[in-house]
Amino acid sequence: MNERHHHAVYVISVFAELAGVHPQTLRNYERSGLLNPQRTSGGSRRFSEADLVALRRIQDLTNEGVSLEGVKRIMRLENELATAREQLAAAAEEARSHVQETHRQYRRELVPVRNTMALFIDAQRRQRGGV
């Protein structure tokens, strides 16, 4: 997600209207640890697009009958899974890069087998006094 997505611009009344919930519901979600709006220096809440995405997920889960504690656990696990997937993708890319670099090094260091065998046989003949 980009930085703009996390830029907190909505005051609680506007955010509640956008989301179709009562401001008290947002306060309850914040107390439960489900939402974490930024605060101004004066202490006012400011919500972002990322908060709206999180709120939509909370609403989806609660509409399916999941308790707030269950929602909290599910969202934490979803975040952990997303982080693990990002780390796995980064590790896979790093491994691919290392394999490609190793293959490039092999291409520079390897000599074709036919030429190597001929040189070896010629060297043996010279040692024995042949050729």
Same domain, 60 and 3: yes
Instruction: Write down the pTM of the prediction.
Output: 0.66
Number of domains in the chain: 2
Same domain, 60 and 112: no
Q: 23, 12 in Cβ contact below 8 A?
A: yes
Same domain, 37 and 8: yes
Same domain, 26 and 62: yes
Report residue 110's pLDDT band, with 50, 70 and 90 as the boundaries. Answer: low
Which domain range does residue 26 map to? 1-66
Q: What is the pLDDT of residues 57-105, one digit of tens each?
A: 999 999 999 999 999 999 999 999 999 999 999 999 999 999 998 888 7
Report residue 128's pLDDT band, with 50, 70 and 90 as the boundaries. Answer: confident
Identify any residues that bridge with 45 across adjacent strands, giving them in sequence order: 39
Q: What is the pLDDT of residues 7-27, one digit of tens each?
A: 878 999 999 999 999 999 999
